[in-house]
């Protein structure tokens, strides 16, 4: 059975914003390795549309970006959306029965499946479907934006912490 993992970069004051701060080279290499090992990713519409960037080759990419794009393209993707009518390569739309669809995905796969985006994570947290939360804590204060926990704040238990690169601490939690 697959394990659902919600992990995102977060500011010190609890916000996520991919445009306000990005990963260092060391953290980006960490994300490449994670993408290569994942059994797939589950996206909400907005996060999926952002990530579609990796579907197209860009001549200015270095080898790390090429490696990330290859890993992202290779893994299956499930997109939770009522408004999208189609999705790109190696992706499937998830219909109206979110809980049933996600339970089926978990049952049919092994390994880690990434949950991408705080809004989708909120819905899956409410359904008690997320198995692990990974906060990549950056030394940045945003003051506003989308919070990492966009809804319920589940009781959590810290199971690991480690430093990635010079500035980021990864905190790994499971539901308590």
Token pair of 128 as six digits: 């008690």
Cβ contacts of residue 171 below 8 Å, gap of 6+? 134, 135, 137, 158, 160, 161
To the question of pTM greater than 0.85 for the whole model, the response is: yes
pLDDT digits (tens, 9 = 90+) for 25-68: 999 999 999 999 999 999 999 999 999 999 999 999 999 999 99
pLDDT digits (tens, 9 = 90+) for 101-145: 999 999 999 999 999 989 999 999 999 999 999 999 999 999 999
Q: How far apart are CA 135 and CA 6, in angstroms?
A: 8
Correct CATH for 3-175 of 3.90.1150.10, 3.10.20.10, 3.40.50.970, 3.40.430.10: 3.40.430.10
Phi, psi of 158 (to 5 degrees): -70, 125
pLDDT at 95: 81
Q: What single DSSP character describes residue 132?
A: E
Q: Please state which of the ranges 16-25, 71-80, 140-149 shows the lowest mean pLDDT.
A: 16-25
| Burial (Cβ within 10 Å: 0-12, 13-18, ≥19) of residue 3 | middle
**Closest-CA residue to 20 (of 109, 146, 158, 152):** 146
Domain limits of the chain? Answer: 3-175
| Residue 19: Cβ within 10 Å count | 7
CB 85 within 8 A of CB 48: no
């Amino acid at each position: 059975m697959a394990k659902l993992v919600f992990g995102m970069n977060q500011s010190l004051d609890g916000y996520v914003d991919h445009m306000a701060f990005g990963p260092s080279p060391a953290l980006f290499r960490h994300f490449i390795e994670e993408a290569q090992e994942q059994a797939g990713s589950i996206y909400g519409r907005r996060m999926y549309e952002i990530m579609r960037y990796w579907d197209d080759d860009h001549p200015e990419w270095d080898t790390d970006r090429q490696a990330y794009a290859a890993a992202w393209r290779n893994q299956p993707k499930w997109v939770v959306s009522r408004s999208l009518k189609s999705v790109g390569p190696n992706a499937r739309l998830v219909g109206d029965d979110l809980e049933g669809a996600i339970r089926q995905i978990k049952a049919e796969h092994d390994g880690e499946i990434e949950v991408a985006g705080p809004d989708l994570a909120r819905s899956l947290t409410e359904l008690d479907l997320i198995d692990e939360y990974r906060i990549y804590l950056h030394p940045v204060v945003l003051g506003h934006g989308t919070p990492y926990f966009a809804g319920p704040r589940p009781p959590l238990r810290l199971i690991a912490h480690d430093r990635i690169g010079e500035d980021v601490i990864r905190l790994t939690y499971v539901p308590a």
